[in-house]
Amino acid sequence: MATQTNTLNGWLREVCAVLDIPEEDLDEDARHILLDLSRDAAHQVIRPAAPLTAYLIGVAVGRGASLSAASAKVQLALPTEAGQDAEIEFEES
């Protein structure tokens, strides 16, 4: 497990460097939120939904949404059972 963690940390440092993003912008809380949401999207929708959902969360955050608010909205939108869409309404902000 330590090797995987070291590999992940090294990769994330590299990505932050090439994108000129401070490493602090991806703290432990943000990592957990994104990994949990990606897992849920992969399992409750289809596997390719995971990276695309994470990308869309990033777009929302880039447009001014908080990570926690954006991920909470997406979490509510996930199907509750295979093939069943959740019915939700989003507030305009």
DSSP state string for 25-61: GG-HHHHHHHHHHHHHHHHHT-TTHHHHHHHHHHHHH
Average confidence (pLDDT) over 2-30: 95
Is 41 among the domain residues? yes
Q: Is the residue at 69 inside a domain?
A: yes
Domain contains 51:
yes
Residue 14 forms part of a structural domain: no
Residue 19 has pLDDT above 90, yes or no: yes
Residue 37 lies in a domain: yes
| Segment 38-77, tens digit of pLDDT | 999 999 999 999 999 999 999 999 999 999 999 999 999 9
Question: CA-to-CA distance for 32 and 14, rounded, in angstroms?
Answer: 19
Give the residue with greater pLDDT, 92 vs 87: 92
Average pLDDT estimate for 26-32: 95
Position 88 pLDDT exceeds 50 = no
Tally of domains in the chain:
1
pLDDT of residue 1: 75
Q: What is the mean pLDDT of residues 72-91?
A: 71
Separation CA 73–CA 75 (nearest Å): 5
CA-to-CA distance for 3 and 56, rounded, in angstroms? 29
Query: Both tokens of residue 27?
Result: 């703290």
Whether 1 maps to a domain, the answer reads no
The reply to whether 10 falls in a domain is no
Predicted TM-score (pTM) of this structure: 0.79
Q: Which domain holds residue 55?
A: 27-77
- Residue 86 maps to a domain: no
